[in-house]
Amino acid sequence: GDSVTQMEGPVTLSEEAFLTINCTYTATGYPSLFWYVQYPGEGLQLLLKATKADDKGSNKGFEATYRKETTSFHLEKGSVQVSDSAVYFCALSEAVVNQFYFGTGTSLTVIP
Amino acid sequence: EAQVTQNPRYLITVTGKKLTVTCSQNMNHEYMSWYRQDPGLGLRQIYYSMNVEVTDKGDVPEGYKVSRKEKRNFPLILESPSPNQTSLYFCASSLLGLAAYNEQFFGPGTRLTVL
């Protein structure tokens, strides 16, 4: 079945450091891929998405490229800020099965 | 404001005492879903609904019930809660089911503790 595997946390970085959170997936069809962010005490919010191979999603300085050949969708940001401290979830959806699959989440803490 | 609301936000209960967590969305979304979030397991889908009176099981439906009598509401029912249902629960909604480009909108979460 479909699944998402993402980098274990927690991750602690200094402000302005480069961020990479790895995400790989297994899917039977042609999924769409998402990154969601969960700030403390809140629900998940969509950060970015990509719907087909080689698409790049971007938002708030974060980027991720849908790589079909490596079944990956790694999240990157060139210079993190304290306000980026949150839990990040990689996810995929396949319309045919009407289900959404999430990774286990990666907790990021950015220190000044 | 477009949103998904859940109530209650926090609930402590005892084993076997029936409870309902409500979920409501004001975006006229057809698709609604319930998830539970547990440490190390991420989010797992409990039930989903493609439209009024249409519901289906997700990955972890045991011990839960849902109903979809109105488009905006999708309550989660625990008929006889057990301690292993202690978790953080999220309701979500989206347009047109899981079409490739649709995002899900999440509620703020309900933290449930079953003693």
Q: Residue B40: what pLDDT?
A: 83
Query: Which of A32, A46, A102 is closest, CB to CB, to B42?
Result: A102
pLDDT > 90: percent of chain B: 77
- pLDDT tens-place string over residues B34-84: 999 998 888 899 999 988 999 999 989 999 999 999 999 999 999 999 999
pLDDT-derived band at B13, boundaries 50, 70, 90: very high
Quick check: B108 and B7 in contact, CB under 8 A? no
> CB atoms < 10 A from the CB of A5, how many?
15
A96 vs A103, higher pLDDT? A103
Quick check: B107 and B5 in contact, CB under 8 A? yes
pLDDT-derived band at B100, boundaries 50, 70, 90: low
Residue A44: its chain B contacts at CB < 8 A? 43, 90, 92, 104, 106
Residue B41: its chain A contacts at CB < 8 A? 104
Provide the number of CB pairs (under 8 Å) joining chain A to chain B: 64
pLDDT at B96 over 80: no
The token duo for A10 is 């927690």
Q: Residue B1: what pLDDT?
A: 85
Residues A109 and A104: their CA atoms lie apart, in Å, by 16
Residues B106 and A44: their CA atoms lie apart, in Å, by 6
User: Which residue in A66, A99, A106 has the most chain B C-beta atoms within 10 A of its own C-beta, making it the best mutation to test that interface?
Assistant: A99
A111 vs B1, higher pLDDT? A111
- The three-state secondary structure class of A96 is helix
Pairing of strands B110-114, B10-13: parallel
Q: Are B107 and A43 an interchain contact pair (Cβ–Cβ within 8 Å)?
A: yes
- The single residue listed with the structure tokens 């503790």 is B113
Q: Are A44 and B90 an interchain contact pair (Cβ–Cβ within 8 Å)?
A: yes
Go through chain B and tell me how many residues it has.
115
Q: Are B59 and A46 an interchain contact pair (Cβ–Cβ within 8 Å)?
A: no
